[in-house]
Amino acid sequence: MSPFIWKSRSLLASLSLVGLLMGPLGYGATTDPMESTEPVLALESTAQTESAETGPDYALARVDWLEPVVLTTDTPSFALVTGRAVKMRAFVTAPQAGAPAPQVHVRVLDSQQVLSDSVMEPPTPAIVGTQPELGSLSAAYLFQLRAEWVKPGLQVELTVESGPDGTDPDLTNNHLVLRPTVDPAHVLYLTVVPVRTQMEGLASLPEEANGPEATRQALKSLLMATFPLSDVKIRIHAPYDAHVTTQYNNWGYLLGEIDNLSFSEGSHGYYLGFIKPSGGSTVGNSFMPGTVAIVASGDPWLKGTVRHELGHNFFRSHAYCGPLDASGQNWGYNAEKNQMIDPTLTNDDMSYCGPSWVSRANYLGILKQLKVYGLDKPKDISDWK
């Protein structure tokens, strides 16, 4: 026998022996497609078992503060305001849409104690998507931070529980601790003045048919929903008889009269006069910056005009018509209506176009202004409610 043949047979015998030894351990399984497929089925069965034991990988994808403009903690110049209640919105996502909504636990703390230990209101229906829906409230988790909790030292901890069956495979993306900046309290003291002119008569106040408390509540609700305020206190002034006989072409004079009224009374705060219109295109006037504004009365009353003129008082100048944000990323929120504001369909309050809402730039600008300069406060606040 030639050396070559002997060596070949020795090699074949060695390979056969290795196959016999390794085969029972699974290392010598054939890859011939004509052979049994039982090992492949066994692997598939194992994968299905693992999938059944592992739930969706939930993630806490985004948390928003629903101020008049939707903000996140890392928004430049972001701050909450002491004593101002704010709604939180959180989005939980999963790799596949329609996963059951897990519970989101929320703890609210200050520097000394736990203020609240609760859960967020879940989405409706109780499922989560694959990414945040910026224009939605129903697809998100919601939680209201009470006014007395919002103060320096605030901390909010959010934790996504590990799914209905406790099977979330990765808990590292389920927890978030927020420590927002909290500015000082800003209380607006507003004197509301119904103005009477000889030609037009006495202006009406918002919701006055339902009594003075309804007027206060209507104005407070609007202004709290628009500006970074802790509270709005309102004094309803007795009717003021204007020196000019008509409002027509006299809005500058009327503004000056209400300014003189504020000065003569010596207590200050902010003054908002209501003028009964009877022609002309002017519906408001104000000082920028300042503490006095006037607007046309009406039923319904002109909420956008009130926001516009007080915006001037807070040093906001006019804006061009056009969407607040054509990209659709920076939504607004109307707390009066519990409604999201689509920035692609809404103009700036400081423009002359509608529908309108406060812009992101203007809200943050007012927030900064109030932090630096504060608000004018009357010497005696006993008459403001």
Helix axis angle for 303-313 and 212-226, nearest 10°, is 60
pLDDT tens-digit readout, 196-206: 999 999 999 99
pLDDT of residue 236: 98
Query: Token pair for residue 127?
Result: 């499922």
Alpha helices in the chain (DSSP H): 3-22, 38-53, 212-226, 251-265, 303-313, 360-373
pLDDT band at 79 (very low <50, low <70, confident <90, very high): very high
Q: Tell me what the mean pLDDT of segment 67-93 comes to.
A: 97
- DSSP-based three-state secondary structure for 87: strand
Q: Which helix (H) or strand (E) holds 272?
A: strand 270-275
Whether the CB-CB separation of 58 and 160 falls below 8 Å is answered with yes
pLDDT of residue 48: 37
Residue 174 has pLDDT above 60, yes or no: yes
Cβ partners under 8 Å of residue 67, min gap 6:
86, 228, 333, 363
Residue 35 has pLDDT above 80, yes or no: no
Indicate the average pLDDT of the chain.
88
- DSSP-based three-state secondary structure for 93: strand
Residue 135 has pLDDT above 90, yes or no: yes
pLDDT of residue 55: 82
Residue with the bigger pLDDT between 164 and 340: it is: 340
Residue 42 Cα to chain centre, angstroms:
51
Query: Token pair for residue 317?
Result: 């100048």
Cβ partners under 8 Å of residue 147, min gap 6:
83, 84, 85, 230
What amino acid is encoded at 309 in this protein? Answer: E
- DSSP-based three-state secondary structure for 55: coil
Q: Tell me what the mean pLDDT of segment 180-184 comes to.
A: 97
Residue 182 has pLDDT above 70, yes or no: yes
Name the pTM for this structure.
0.84
pLDDT of residue 163: 62
The span from the CA of 220 to the CA of 240, in Å, is: 22
Percent of residues, the chain, with pLDDT higher than 70: 85
Q: Tell me what the mean pLDDT of segment 277-292 comes to.
A: 94
pLDDT of residue 267: 86
Torsion of CA 137, 138, 143, 147, to 10 degrees: 40
pLDDT band at 19 (very low <50, low <70, confident <90, very high): very low
